[in-house]
Amino acid sequence: MTSSAPSRQAWVILVIGVLTQMAATIAIAGPAFLIPYMHTDLGFTLTQAGTVAAAPSFGLILTLIAWGAFADRYGERLAMTLGIGLTAVFSAAAVLVVDSPIWMVVVIAASGAAAASVNSASGRVVMGWFPRHRRGLAMGIRQMSQPLGTSIAAVTIPPIAAAGGFPAYLWYVAIVTGVLAIICFAVVRNPPLQVPTRTEVADLDPATEPETERNGETEPGTTSAGEGKAGAASALNPYRSDSFLWRIHAVSALLVVPQFAFSTYGLVWLIAVQGIGAGTAGAIVAAAQIVGAIGRMVVGGLSDRTSSRVGLMRIVAIAAVIFVVAIALLSLEELPVAAAVVFILASAVSVADNGLAFASVAEAAGPRWSGKALGAQNTGQFVMSALLGPGFGALITVFGYPLSFGLIALAPLLSIGIIPKRDIDRIT
pLDDT per residue, tens digit, the chain (428 aa), is: 444 677 888 899 999 999 999 999 999 888 877 877 777 777 877 677 777 877 888 888 889 888 888 988 888 899 999 999 999 999 999 889 888 888 888 998 999 999 999 887 887 788 778 887 787 888 888 878 887 887 788 788 888 888 888 889 999 999 999 999 999 999 988 887 655 445 555 444 443 343 333 333 333 333 333 334 434 444 468 888 888 999 999 999 999 899 888 877 888 888 889 998 878 887 888 888 888 888 888 888 888 888 888 888 999 999 999 999 999 999 998 899 999 999 999 988 988 888 888 888 888 888 788 888 888 888 888 788 777 767 887 888 889 899 999 999 999 999 999 999 888 877 65
Predicted local distance difference test score (pLDDT) of residue 200: 52
Residue 186, exposed/middle/buried by CB under 10 A (0-12, 13-18, 19+)? exposed
Q: Residue 302 carries which side chain, given as an amino acid letter?
A: L
Q: Residue 211 carries which side chain, given as an amino acid letter?
A: E
Q: How far is CA 247 from CA 243, 252, 369, in A?
A: 6, 9, 16
Predicted local distance difference test score (pLDDT) of residue 6: 74
Predicted local distance difference test score (pLDDT) of residue 221: 38
In terms of CATH, what superfamily is 234-425?
A: MFS general substrate transporter like domains (1.20.1250.20)
Say how many Å lie between the first and final Cα of the chain, rounded.
Answer: 7
| Topology (CATH) of 8-187 | Growth Hormone; Chain: A; (1.20.1250)
What's the CA gap between 37 and 139, in Å, rounded?
Answer: 36
Domain ranges of the chain: 8-187, 234-425
User: Is the pTM of the predicted complex or chain greater than 0.85?
Assistant: no
What's the CA gap between 62 and 70, in Å, rounded?
Answer: 14
Q: In this structure, are residues 259 and 350 in contact, taking their beta carbons and an 8 Å threshold?
A: yes
3-state secondary structure of 332: coil
Predicted local distance difference test score (pLDDT) of residue 193: 66
Whether 8-187 and 234-425 share one fold: the answer is yes
Predicted local distance difference test score (pLDDT) of residue 192: 76
